[in-house]
Copies of this chain bind each other. A is one copy, B any other.
């Protein structure tokens, strides 16, 4: 039952998820097949269907795991020393890391294909963005109360602006193969939220 922290899970189901995750982030959910995964892992398509009955089940499992990992990453950002400004920078860096592997955000990719997805996957995609919005909202409110951040409108609206802008910056930067293009957009976006004259410790 216990999953070792030292030794990562190398079970077949996990390996399937790892490969499928990469395919979705690079090609989109409609851009790969069970045959692609089986070829990559050296197992048959039938073996795939044993672990994930259908592509929809696999897709939903991908989103749930991705959202879970993202939540952990956000907790890590919270745990690290630093105020609201540093936490926002840490948030943007999560996106940058994904782009560095020449991948799109899993749920950003699925947002594009949204209308073709089975409903369980649609629901999971929206839950991911809601989760991001909630975390950002907290950071923004805390930062504004501490006098570190400033922004017009509500924290929620600003959180949505940040999510959309970072997803969009990834979307465009990836075809150009230009990580710096993303970083410049992220920096400019977050700079507009820092209150001039605020004393901050930047990570």
Contacts and interface: CB of A to CB of B under 8 A. Distances in A.
A169 B191 CA distance: 19
Contact of A112 (B112, B129, B189): B112
Contact of A172 (B27, B30, B163, B172): B163
Contacts of A31: 30, 113, 115-116
Q: How many copies does the complex hold?
A: 2
Interface string A177-198: 0000100110011011000000
Given A112-B109, A115-B27, A152-B191, A172 B164 contact: yes
Contacts of A21: none
Interface in A134-189: 151-153, 157-158, 160-161, 163-176, 181, 184-185, 188-189
Interface of A: 26-28, 30-31, 104, 108-109, 111-116, 122, 125-126, 129, 151-153, 157-158, 160-161, 163-176, 181, 184-185, 188-189, 191-192
